[in-house]
Structure 1
């Protein structure tokens, strides 16, 4: 947390320490006898977008616009290269964001190419999103995803591109010999099926694989050096929707907290100190129908407090992953391989072997169903729309006429009650990437859609059969490299719940993905070349139209100065209490403070003021509010941890003010001191 910070040196907590020590003692015993097979690198980048007045991505609500930060967004990159052939390498990046859009990926690859030539490219860089719904949007070049953000938001786009690129470059600088190990387990109390009626339409053989209608699989890939774990990637399927549509603070949601729990609270990582020390990425899998809201209402389950739920569901993912690290894991052996192919999902013919009815079928131009507008249990839409086939008679009448006029459309999209023909409108991508990455005995299948648990099962089985591997050796990495809605089984599609209405390319979308994934897997198994397919440049784009003006200028509240304290903290707080300070401020979009902070909580020590928390910490919150036309206030809160050291504290706010002529000037303000304990 900057110069003089003691945060990175805080003692690790007992439960996490036990897991790390157990893993360390286990790996130390074999480190001398095992040859190091890989070069491993880790890096973290700050990707926090505009914290004020930026439409948020996920719930598609125009009124949900950012008003501050609860936790910063991070990109966590891992590089794996063969020890004896380091040119054979892959970068796997997990990003605290709603989706990875193709525009972001292309920009990242362009920057990497300028700095590293052909070392990194579309084939060996896998970008995935945690799918948090509590982050700024407006970073797509396709109209559908920028409608509720008032168009393209260049500063948020730049924060993502720069932070992701930096995370990969930091991992590059961190490369050193090490080992990989993989563990598998189950987590049963961090998800619930939000689309049970659709799930029940699947064949009994598929449903038997998920007796509780959830995918409990948790997979851990650990990175070890010198007998010690230095990083992990965990895959588990649950939506990033613990925070409801009413929240307007930036947050990594439950997976963001899981990463923070392990890195910051357990391993003592100081995000602003340079060396990450320990990196923990909590990635998504086939989470389309998996909700963390255990009561199936927004922001509920296991409690009625959405922030408490975010922490609880995140902690459960962390605990399950830490248990795997401390238990039995298997050494990863084998080479590195990666393939990518682009597929025109609007026009793919699927062979009879995968359609289930003995006939070939074809995908079609993207269309959203009326049940899409109804929303899901995590974020219901307008009450005039309902989930389920036949429940939206107005659009059903229109669709019936369309299907009568075009039997081919009926065969491909029915029983969807068509709301918007977004493919014909050019509002979504149609040429999409499918990526397959081999890390020794573990395979990652990158899919640019939200896959249901049964859809994920079928994809894993299909790919494993071509590779001669077990389905458990294949992880479906959803939300990867681009985004085009949901991916349900044909049986689930017929229910036309929210997920089916959002499966845009029609009933045969999943079989098309199975077919194309099998093709790529067969190429990998045989060592043959993989056809790249059509260029994604052929995707229609809505351009980078921005309807929202930027910051014009800032002025402090009447009679005040920037940084002046408007409301001071109380003189004393017990542990568990919340200190609150209000500052005269300016618009935070003037400077995103990437790798920095809008706030610091500091404790007086014998050597001066020591930073103990900033706006990346769970205990803090930064709230921005507009006062009149150009004035702003910043409210900083700090909920004092139970293990906080007794002593004297203060809160510092950093901001940046924009003058009428456009010049931006930094300022700061400091509260009076208060005691804790």
Structure 2
């Protein structure tokens, strides 16, 4: 019998005019709270084995948050806690706080790093975990799977032409983008005395019902789903239920209609209607989750918990040809952001104007030709040959590794600061020396697999598209076929955030997701390679496992972090 405990607390974050994380828009600033942002936790014990699932109403998990929580738990729990046991994920609401990363890029609009936000998140998360840890009682656990009927308007694929490039899928036309995604919802059910007290749902859909035009913290669709499910459980007499609505393969999945007339339909939802739209989308999710409980449920009968966590340095990593279409020299590169990343998505979050994007693409291709054919020295030419081979047909606007925009260092961008406040902030931080040694985006990433009885959960950093996630599941399932694992689930936005992962076929289309697949066209193949190796380690006895337990991101220079911390937001 497993012991399980659960807990939830609101994150004590005071909106003070800092930009929120998600849309990357300078004007998208939090000045109030609509639906409180929550921390929800489920803790499992089996003998001396432990497992923690913790989901935050945030746009991203960062290494700063995760390491702070691990340090706190180690101090309190000592040897009973190891970092491998902690699965820290988020709902990816775009109406949550920014400024929570030690890395520079995703904090630019905040502006900068907000240490008291991180401290509040870390403290509350640790307290919630400890409360759940200490309240564990015998609990029955089962896995059910719900499926959204085709007519339920809960999600659409937002990059359909890229999705259709994948050879294993059934191509869909513009009228059927709602079918170009995984419409199933696995639900872990935690029962006592035959009643559900807690649950964890995994369904991939962006938490972008509320747009960048709003100015309030809000849990978006996942937050409303959790609140609605908990209210329904309370109505049955359950005290303090916990409902986690986490993310699956959300990378190319939108909660907004995509198809003919999509711009007109999106424009019609604004102001208060956006919050009602988020509530309705969340209710679709909570209704399916609660309805799935008990229906053809798989009881977690086999006992035991297990967890593996390994950090890998992504740049320059080689993919196994088995996952790279037989290519023997498929490598990742230093992180680069393409023009489509800055252009945004046409419905969820538009970015730079199309004319400017086309001009930036032309300049990026011109710079590529110059670097590969021009007068650069041999070392630079070799570097760029490898970079462009890895990045493929991406029009690179930002080289996050070398910290250049179209070949210009950040402090010398030719665009004047008055033309774009984000450019002004980037220049300011660069000229202060706040980004000299600090990474712009994470390059050392956490990969994690945990098992609960006969269920394995693959925990991925960042945003995986529908088919990319399915390939990861298939890869891990193949490695665990003879181990007693009967089902492999995928949980995304786990433990850190670095952007997107598409399939190589999707990448060639260079939509927003491909432009934000920062390590290049072989990123997924490398993730498959590394997850396959991690899964193979699960086949071994714990004392025989040889995976990397030591690698961690390089600490950010404290002096640089201080230079970009507590920067007053506009208007203060």
TM class by shorter-chain length? 0.7 to 0.9
Distance 2:87 2:16 in 1: 30
Distance 2:328 2:30 in 1: 49
Tell me what 1:230 maps to.
197
1:25-174 maps to which residues of 2 (within 5 A)?
37-82=1-46, 85=47, 87-174=48-135
Unaligned runs of 5+ in 2: 374-380, 404-438
Task: Give how far 1:362 is off.
Answer: 1.0
Deviation per CA, 1:20-78: give whole Å up to 9, x if none. xxxxxxxxxxxxxxxxx201110112224231212111001111111101111111111
Task: Give how far 1:548 is off.
Answer: 4.7
Taking a change above 3 Å as real, the CA distance of residues 374 and 398 of structure 1, as seen in their structure-2 partners, is: same
Q: Is the 8 A contact 1:520 1:530 kept in 2?
A: no
Q: Does 1:484 align with 2:498?
A: yes
1:227-266 maps to which residues of 2 (within 5 A)?
227-264=194-231, 266=233
Q: How large is the Cα RMSD of the aligned pairs?
A: 2.7
Tell me what 2:160 maps to.
196
Distance 1:413 1:298 in 2: 35
Distance 2:189 2:105 in 1: 38
Distance 2:487 2:562 in 1: 40
The structure number with the bigger radius of gyration is 1
| SS of 1:420 mapped into structure 2 | strand
Tell me what 2:434 maps to.
none
Tell me what 2:407 maps to.
none
Taking a change above 3 Å as real, the CA distance of residues 264 and 523 of structure 1, as seen in their structure-2 partners, is: same
Deviation per CA, 1:620-657: give whole Å up to 9, x if none. xxxxx99xx8xxxxxxxxxxxxxxxxxxxxxxxxxxxx
Distance 1:129 1:402 in 2: 40
Q: Is the 8 A contact 2:233 2:241 kept in 1?
A: no
Farther-moved stretch of structure 1 (232-241 vs 539-548): 539-548
Q: Is the 8 A contact 1:92 1:127 kept in 2?
A: yes
Task: Give how far 1:205 is off.
Answer: 4.6
Tell me what 2:292 maps to.
324
Tell me what 1:220 maps to.
187
Distance 2:486 2:60 in 1: 25
Taking a change above 3 Å as real, the CA distance of residues 397 and 50 of structure 1, as seen in their structure-2 partners, is: farther
TM-score, normalisation: structure 2: 0.84
Taking a change above 3 Å as real, the CA distance of residues 539 and 299 of structure 1, as seen in their structure-2 partners, is: farther
Q: Does 1:431 align with 2:462?
A: no
> Which structure features the higher share of strand residues?
1
Tell me what 1:447 maps to.
460
Among 297, 306, 309, the alignment partner of 2:277 is 309
Distance 2:520 2:164 in 1: 20
The number of equivalent residue pairs is 509
Tell me what 1:578 maps to.
none
1:568-583 maps to which residues of 2 (within 5 A)?
none
| SS of 1:537 mapped into structure 2 | coil
Taking a change above 3 Å as real, the CA distance of residues 315 and 402 of structure 1, as seen in their structure-2 partners, is: farther
Tell me what 2:530 maps to.
516
TM-score, normalisation: structure 1: 0.71
Tell me what 1:288 maps to.
251
Task: Give how far 1:135 is off.
Answer: 1.1
Taking a change above 3 Å as real, the CA distance of residues 414 and 387 of structure 1, as seen in their structure-2 partners, is: farther
| SS of 1:261 mapped into structure 2 | helix
Among 395, 401, 422, the alignment partner of 1:417 is 395
Tell me what 2:305 maps to.
336
Taking a change above 3 Å as real, the CA distance of residues 176 and 307 of structure 1, as seen in their structure-2 partners, is: same
Distance 2:335 2:197 in 1: 43
Unaligned runs of 5+ in 1: 1-36, 552-624, 630-677
Q: Is the 8 A contact 1:152 1:545 kept in 2?
A: no
Task: Give how far 1:298 is off.
Answer: 10
Deviation per CA, 1:267-296: give whole Å up to 9, x if none. 2599xxxx9621101000110000001245
Taking a change above 3 Å as real, the CA distance of residues 468 and 403 of structure 1, as seen in their structure-2 partners, is: farther
Q: Is the 8 A contact 2:333 2:386 kept in 1?
A: no
| Higher normalized contact order (CA 8 Å, seq sep 6+, divided by chain length) | 2
Task: Give how far 1:484 is off.
Answer: 0.5
| SS of 2:186 mapped into structure 1 | strand
Q: Is the 8 A contact 2:155 2:178 kept in 1?
A: no
Q: Is the 8 A contact 1:387 1:497 kept in 2?
A: no
Task: Give how far 1:121 is off.
Answer: 2.3
> Which structure features the higher share of helix residues?
2
Distance 2:288 2:330 in 1: 41
